[in-house]
A = this chain, B = another copy of it.
Amino acid sequence: MTSPARKLSRIQTENRQRIRDAALGLFATHGFRGTTLDQIAEACGMHKPNLIYYFESKEAIHIDLLNMLMEEWLSPLDAMNPDGDPLEEILGYIRRKMEMSRLYPRESRLFANEIVQGAPRMLPHLESTLKPLFNRQIGIITRWMDAGKLAQMHPAHLIFSIWAVTQHYADFEAQIAVLLPGDDKRARGADEFVEMMFRKLLTP
């Protein structure tokens, strides 16, 4: 059913990656429809037909990016250890999310764009990949709360609030830069605030 999928040559691997890297920045900033093949081509120093040589279409680039990023984007969620200290596990997750917001804002914005627009290309993935992971984490957190290790609250909304707050720093950076200008320790302040906030929330 799937395509031939013979092994990729060195050049193929390299150039596909160059294209992904250029497309990521552009899709994240201008959205799918707002990005042209010519822009991507220029950003990675190739010619337009060359992109189509490596990817079937513009949409194929976008889908490939979303699929590639899905895994690493969700990996921190999977790294929570059910046998660890509950508060520290969740705070560790939050710290990793804050770090990702700082290190990979393009990825964060790509997802934000996709979800804000109703996830037209990612809904199946949300169902099949994110949802089981999410439900597993809900289970873990619920057990922690039932054991009295964390304050009782709706675990799904807890996770939503973590996503909301951590990703906000990447997705709404343009606004934050206006409101807290020239603050070279902005990231530091954000980290400290977020940690304090969820520590207070979660402590029984």
Contact = CB atoms under 8 A, between A and B. Distances in A.
Interface residues of A, number: 51
A123 interface: yes
Given A30-B117, A130-B179, A163-B168, A157 B201 contact: no
Interface string A161-204: 10111011101101110111000000001101110110011000
Contacts of A201: 197, 200-201
Q: How many copies are assembled?
A: 2
A44 to B, nearest CB: 20
Interface of A: 29-34, 109, 112-113, 115-119, 123, 126-127, 130-131, 134, 151, 153-154, 156-158, 160-161, 163-165, 167-169, 171-172, 174-176, 178-180, 189-190, 192-194, 196-197, 200-201
